[in-house]
């Protein structure tokens, strides 16, 4: 039998390779505009944004394992993100600033929470399941905010302090807080290269997130192509037939729920690894909604879609929210005064604080015209380029013999 590389068929191997290359060259790809130019603020190649895209990409890929495959729409996945962050920060406080133990603990703890929450929530399906997960997430949020203050430090959020034990790191000199690192290599250290009038930032934290994101993506491909992945799609398609075929859908959905919870925990752990603090806000229902929007915007049930959705949303959030009225003034200063004010007023609704409006309009357009998400758009574009503008069905291709009579002229 032909042995496939990494257990993937040639098509998937090629796909994974493209994803790896795209990820590794993100610092260059997201920096297309020359520094100092008018468009420089559309450059996304700075560490904070790139890390967020990688991390939320992981979050969305995991969410898609549950939502895209089984069709169960969880509205409380941010709880696992928050739990992962808290677990990781505790590890940084107690054990070591090396991120590996923190991230492992984040996955384990969020996996345990997912097992408990999933076990109860999965007794129901459809809207009831969504509401149950939402209720659990809000419970986690409220508890982190109030009664669990000894564990979560309430509304201030869990932070590092100078007198944390950090057993493995040993005594620390000086009065500055330690930074997260991987075997001594600090997460926030960057290497800047100036070339072609652009500044490219190669950041340790981003590359760490990128490697983990690639691993997470690879696991997701394997899972999608495995018999287990097929069973999850069977859950979405017809649970009745599944039971009468001798399969129990419950453990399958629970396993998917726990796996996607662990992905969320991993993302939460990475967020803490990039910036070692964890707040309850990370578990708020809007954060849960955001991952739903990412997945649907990119294309639920596809491999690449959620990553794309996460990228687009984080890009919009970070770039559009920075465009304030001052920037708009610079752009439109060539317009006559009265017109300029109107134009700036309109644009200001969509930028700065109003970036959510841009997101909303984008989401509406995508859901209306591309129900399969941005991935569907790319696929259509691809086939347009390859085959020219092809007729999609017989209605697009009027048969000359059977054309209806032309309308009579109105005299």
User: How many whole angstroms separate alpha carbon 33 and alpha carbon 402?
Assistant: 53
> Whose Cβ is closer to other proteins: residue 234's or residue 304's?
234
Q: Give the nearest distance from C-beta 212 to other proteins in angstroms.
A: 19
Q: Give the nearest distance from C-beta 219 to other proteins in angstroms.
A: 9
> Whose Cβ is closer to other proteins: residue 69's or residue 280's?
69
Site membership for other proteins, residue 243 (CB under 8 A): yes
Q: Give the nearest distance from C-beta 132 to other proteins in angstroms.
A: 22
Site membership for other proteins, residue 393 (CB under 8 A): no
Q: What angle do CA 130, 279, 285 make, to 5 degrees?
A: 20
Q: Give the nearest distance from C-beta 68 to other proteins in angstroms.
A: 12
User: How many whole angstroms separate alpha carbon 260 and alpha carbon 257?
Assistant: 5
Q: Give the nearest distance from C-beta 9 to other proteins in angstroms.
A: 7
Region of residue 349 (left: phi > 0; alpha: psi -120 to 50; beta: else): alpha
Q: Give the nearest distance from C-beta 3 to other proteins in angstroms.
A: 10
Which residue has tokens 């590359």? 207
Q: In this structure, what token pair is assigned to residue 241?
A: 């037939």
The CA-atom distances, in angstroms, between 72 and each of 237, 254, 263, 268 are 11, 11, 16, 21
Site membership for other proteins, residue 126 (CB under 8 A): no
Look at the alpha carbons of 116, 120, 126, 127 in this order and tell me if their dihedral is positive or negative.
negative
Which residue has tokens 């849960």? 288
> Whose Cβ is closer to other proteins: residue 32's or residue 251's?
251
Q: Give the nearest distance from C-beta 320 to other proteins in angstroms.
A: 36
> Whose Cβ is closer to other proteins: residue 150's or residue 246's?
246
Residue 202, C-beta contacts closer than 8 angstroms, at least 6 positions apart: 27, 190, 191, 192, 193
Other Cβ atoms within 10 Å of 234 Cβ, number: 18
Total chain residues near other proteins (CB under 8 A)? 31
> Whose Cβ is closer to other proteins: residue 102's or residue 249's?
249
> Whose Cβ is closer to other proteins: residue 244's or residue 334's?
244
Site membership for other proteins, residue 246 (CB under 8 A): yes
Report the residue from 1, 171, 195, 410 that binds other proteins according to the rule CB under 8 A: 1
Q: Give the nearest distance from C-beta 241 to other proteins in angstroms.
A: 4
Q: Where are the alpha helices (DSSP H) in 226-248?
A: 227-237, 239-243
Q: Which stretch binds other proteins (CB under 8 A): 246-254, 285-293, 363-371, 394-402?
A: 246-254
Which residue has tokens 């398609």? 237
Report the residue from 63, 252, 257, 320 that binds other proteins according to the rule CB under 8 A: 252
Binding residues among 8-27 for other proteins as defined by CB under 8 A: 8-9
> Whose Cβ is closer to other proteins: residue 135's or residue 219's?
219
Q: How far is CA 358 from the centre of its chain?
A: 18
Q: Give the nearest distance from C-beta 2 to other proteins in angstroms.
A: 9
Q: Are β-strands 277-278 and 181-182 bridged in parallel, bridged antiparallel, or unpaired?
A: unpaired
Q: Which stretch binds other proteins (CB under 8 A): 1-9, 18-26, 135-143, 279-287?
A: 1-9
Residue 94, C-beta contacts closer than 8 angstroms, at least 6 positions apart: 164, 165, 166, 167
Site membership for other proteins, residue 115 (CB under 8 A): no
Q: Give the nearest distance from C-beta 380 to other proteins in angstroms.
A: 19
Q: Which stretch binds other proteins (CB under 8 A): 56-64, 161-169, 243-251, 399-407?
A: 243-251
Task: Report DSSP letters for 9-33, one per residue.
Answer: -HHHHHHHHHHHHHHHTHHHHT--S
Residue 107, C-beta contacts closer than 8 angstroms, at least 6 positions apart: 84, 262, 265, 266, 269
- x/- track of binding to other proteins for residues 202-241 (CB under 8 A): --------------------xx-xxxxxxx-xx-xxx-xx
Q: In this structure, what token pair is assigned to residue 82?
A: 């928050």
Three-state DSSP at 195 gives strand
> Whose Cβ is closer to other proteins: residue 47's or residue 301's?
301
Site membership for other proteins, residue 379 (CB under 8 A): no
* Site for other proteins, rule CB under 8 A: 1, 4, 7-9, 222-223, 225-231, 233-234, 236-238, 240-248, 251-252, 255
């Amino acid at each position: 039998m032909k042995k496939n590389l990494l257990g993937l068929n040639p098509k998937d191997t090629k796909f994974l390779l493209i994803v790896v290359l795209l990820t590794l060259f993100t610092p260059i790809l997201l920096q297309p505009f020359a520094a100092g130019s008018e468009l420089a603020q559309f450059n996304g190649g700075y560490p904070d944004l790139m890390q967020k895209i990688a991390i939320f990409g992981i979050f969305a890929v995991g969410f898609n394992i549950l939502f895209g495959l089984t069709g169960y729409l969880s509205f409380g996945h941010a709880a696992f993100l928050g739990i992962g962050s808290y677990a990781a920060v505790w590890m940084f406080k107690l054990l070591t600033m090396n991120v590996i133990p923190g991230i492992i603990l984040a996955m384990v703890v969020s996996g345990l929470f997912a097992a408990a929450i999933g076990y109860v929530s999965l007794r129901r399906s459809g809207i009831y399941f969504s509401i149950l997960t939402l209720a659990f997430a809000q419970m986690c949020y409220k508890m982190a905010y109030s009664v669990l203050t000894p564990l979560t430090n309430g509304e201030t959020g869990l932070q590092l302090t100078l007198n944390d034990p950090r057993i493995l790191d040993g005594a620390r000199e000086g009065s500055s807080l330690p930074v997260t690192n991987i075997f001594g290599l600090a997460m926030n250290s960057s290497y800047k290269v100036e070339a072609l009038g652009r500044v490219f930032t190669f950041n340790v934290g981003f590359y760490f997130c990128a490697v983990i994101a690639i691993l997470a993506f690879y696991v997701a491909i394997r899972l999608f192509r495995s018999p287990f992945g097929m069973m999850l799609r069977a859950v979405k398609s017809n649970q009745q037939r599944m039971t009468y075929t001798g399969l129990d859908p419950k453990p399958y959905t629970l396993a998917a729920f726990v796996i996607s919870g662990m992905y969320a925990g991993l993302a939460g752990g990475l967020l803490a690894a990039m910036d070692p603090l964890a707040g309850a806000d990370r578990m708020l229902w809007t954060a849960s909604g955001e991952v739903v929007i990412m997945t649907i915007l990119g294309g639920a049930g596809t491999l690449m879609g959620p990553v794309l959705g996460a990228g687009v949303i984080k890009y919009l959030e970070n770039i559009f929210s920075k465009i304030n009225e001052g920037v708009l003034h610079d752009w439109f200063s060539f317009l006559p005064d009265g017109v300029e004010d109107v134009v700036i007023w309109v644009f200001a609704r969509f930028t700065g604080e109003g970036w959510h409006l841009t997101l909303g309009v984008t989401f509406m357009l995508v859901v209306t015209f591309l129900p399969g998400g941005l991935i569907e758009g790319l696929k259509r574009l691809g086939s347009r380029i390859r085959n020219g503008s092809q007729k999609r069905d017989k209605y697009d291709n009027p048969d000359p013999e059977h054309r209806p009579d032309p309308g009579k002229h109105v005299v």
